Amino acid sequence: MSMRRGFALAETDLRSFDRRESAHCHVQKPDRYRLIEALPDDVQRISRGSGVSYIGASFADGCVVQDLSAFDRLLDFDAQSGLLTVEAGARIGDVVRFALAHGWLLPVAPGHPRASVGGCIAADVHGKNPARDGTFRQHVEAIELFDPSSGWLHLDRNHNAERFSACFAGFGIPGLIAQATLRLVPASAGYSLRSVAVASLVEAGEVLLAHAGAPLLYGWHDGRANRFGRGVVRFGLESKEPMTRRSRLAADLPATIKPWPWCAWNRTGIAAMNRLIGHRYGPGQVHVAIESAMFPLNDARAYYAGFGAEGFVEAQWLLPHARYADFVGSLEGEVARQRPRISLIASKLFDGQAQGFGFDGKGIALAIQLPQPKARTQAAFIASLTELALLHGGRPNLIKDSSLQADAAQRGIADFAACRERLRIFDPQGLQGSMLTRRLGL
Ligand SMILES: Cc1cc2nc3c(=O)[nH]c(=O)nc-3n(C[C@H](O)[C@H](O)[C@H](O)COP(=O)(O)OP(=O)(O)OC[C@H]3O[C@@H](n4cnc5c(N)ncnc54)[C@H](O)[C@@H]3O)c2cc1C
């Protein structure tokens, strides 16, 4: 622990969840509001929630990391309106559990239950069916924010409305979010979760569109050349029946997962894993607790450990409907030609409006996970995937893909320069920075 300019900073190495970005950092872990204010105004900084972004979004060399994990209290709940005020470090799994225990639901939650509310706002995350529930911004009523030059600010749709909007997919640039008020909706008793087998990603797109109104809707697909796109689309329907037996709830996925000493996702490993997914999530119907339906990745600890120390990349692209089938056809051709190792493809339907740097729009999103992204053949395929997605009008998810470079981000987000300007208005001295903002020039 070192003392710098009057308060305690720990020195530590931080690493992204995909293990591809790391830095030696000075970390401040305030546990009271006056310590948030104590950081001198001119210090380069970045807010950090739980640090479970795939990429280095909440740390960088030379920036003080303000770790908000001690601010994890649920502060106020109005059982009539469903308004819940929480501190920004509160973890989304805890928020979901609290809400469900009171008969309410937070409709949008990302797959990692330890993601913080601040991180979900700053990344404007999506949940299990973005076409129905939108992104996180639709469920936030107000934010309490600290800005080094303006101090404490209350933000909502009527007060400081532009800054309020900029916080979503603002990646910490508009300031440190200390509290947020979330709007919950009444919860059903459980979900009846159905899996439909699909033979291709095009068929998956059709099934997703056919079930656009379901509260849960996503696909898991094989990425191997000979079975490309085969898999299941899972959709959950609200069940009015009370749960008769409690289904087993897995413990929350840890924030950091120790990698195995080798990469398990070679061709044999990927074949075995796809067989397991097919067996476990094959066609049929199950009645499940909402919490386990919201966090299926709690069972995926071995999957992430299996990438080994070299890590992985998750490239996620949103393709407009009109270009989706063409994109999928070209991608399948490229997979047949280059034979990359794809550990998994996930599909989701979107029906929103792209805003700022957020990941939203109308189309189908594919998240493609690849082990050992530095290996020559893997890197070549990732470059082809990026190019193909851009050629087909794809929009990249900036918070996920550590392989994405500034030129690709600028091509994938049409009004990139204007979005950057709109964000930096709130940080004219350029104090807020992370590996993400530096890599992409945000
Ligand atoms: C296994 C896994 C599954 C995932 N599933 C999904 C998914 O389904 N949908 C989806 O959209 N995303 C998903 N993600 C991405 C993840 O939800 C986001 O990256 C989220 O931001 C992580 O939250 P965090 O608290 O760890 O944020 P961090 O990683 O700590 O930070 C992320 C960003 O938020 C900013 N930030 C954090 N806290 C604050 C604050 N208090 N004030 C201001 N800025 C702040 C940081 O500066 C940074 O820019 C997943 C990630 C993993 C690893």
Q: What is the DSSP string of 103-150?
A: TEE-S---S-TT-BHHHHHHTT-B-S-HHHH-BGGGGEEEEEEEETTT
pLDDT at 3: 44
Atom of ligand 1 minimally distant from the CA of 399: 19
Cα torsion 257, 127, 103, 79: sign: positive
pLDDT at 14: 98
Q: Which of 125, 177, 366 to mutate to test the pocket of ligand 1 (most atoms within 8 A of CB)?
A: 125
Q: Is the pTM of this model over 0.85?
A: yes
Burial of 305-341, coded b for 16+ CB within 10 Å and e otherwise, reads ebbbebbbbbbbbbbbeebbbebbebbbebbeeeebb
Closest-CA residue to 103 (of 242, 8, 220): 242
Residue type, 407: D
Beta strands in 243-329 (DSSP E): 284-288, 312-320
For ligand 1, residues with CB inside 6 Å are 17, 46-54, 57-58, 68, 88, 110-112, 115-116, 118-120, 122-123, 125-126, 171-172, 176-177, 297, 399, 434
Ligand 1 center to 168 CA (angstroms): 11
Ligand 1 center to 394 CA (angstroms): 22
Ligand 1 center to 171 CA (angstroms): 9
What domains does the chain contain, in order, with CATH numbers? 74-186 (3.30.465.10), 190-412 (3.40.462)
Closest-CA residue to 271 (of 199, 344, 196, 371): 344
Ligand 1 center to 81 CA (angstroms): 27
Residue type, 34: R
Q: Kindly state the tokens that stand for 394.
A: 């794809």
Q: Which residues contact 34 (CB under 8 A, 6 or more apart)?
A: none
Ligand 1 center to 272 CA (angstroms): 30
Q: How far apart are the first and last CA of the chain?
A: 31
CA 440, CA 398: separation in Å to the nearest integer? 9
Residue type, 58: S
Residue type, 398: L
Exposure of 231 in the CB half-sphere (CA atoms within 13 A): 27
Ligand 1 center to 120 CA (angstroms): 5
**Which residue owns the Cα nearest ligand 1 atom 29?**
51
Q: Which of 20, 21, 48, 316 to mutate to test the pocket of ligand 1 (most atoms within 8 A of CB)?
A: 48
Phi, psi of 180 (to 5 degrees): -145, 150
Exposure of 430 in the CB half-sphere (CA atoms within 13 A): 6
pLDDT at 233: 96
Name the helix (H) or strand (E) containing 205: helix 201-210
Closest-CA residue to 319 (of 391, 393, 385): 393
How far is Cα of residue 124 from the mean position of the Cα atoms in its chain?
Answer: 8
Taking the CB of residue 223, how many other CB atoms lie within 10 A of it? 25
Q: How many helices (H) and strands (E) does the chain have?
A: 14, 20
Closest-CA residue to 392 (of 372, 411, 406): 411
Q: Kindly state the tokens that stand for 422.
A: 């709109």
Closest-CA residue to 174 (of 155, 152, 147): 147
Residues of the chain with pLDDT under 70: 1-7, 241-248
Which residue has tokens 């890590």?
A: 311
- For 215, which DSSP code? S
pLDDT at 335: 98
Ligand 1 center to 336 CA (angstroms): 34
Which residue has tokens 């894993």?
A: 273
Q: Which of 399, 436, 437, 438 to mutate to test the pocket of ligand 1 (most atoms within 8 A of CB)?
A: 399
Ligand 1 center to 200 CA (angstroms): 30
CA 277, CA 270: separation in Å to the nearest integer? 10
- For 91, which DSSP code? B
Over residues 299-345, the pLDDT tens digits come to: 999 999 999 999 999 999 999 999 999 999 999 999 999 999 999 99
- For 258, which DSSP code? P
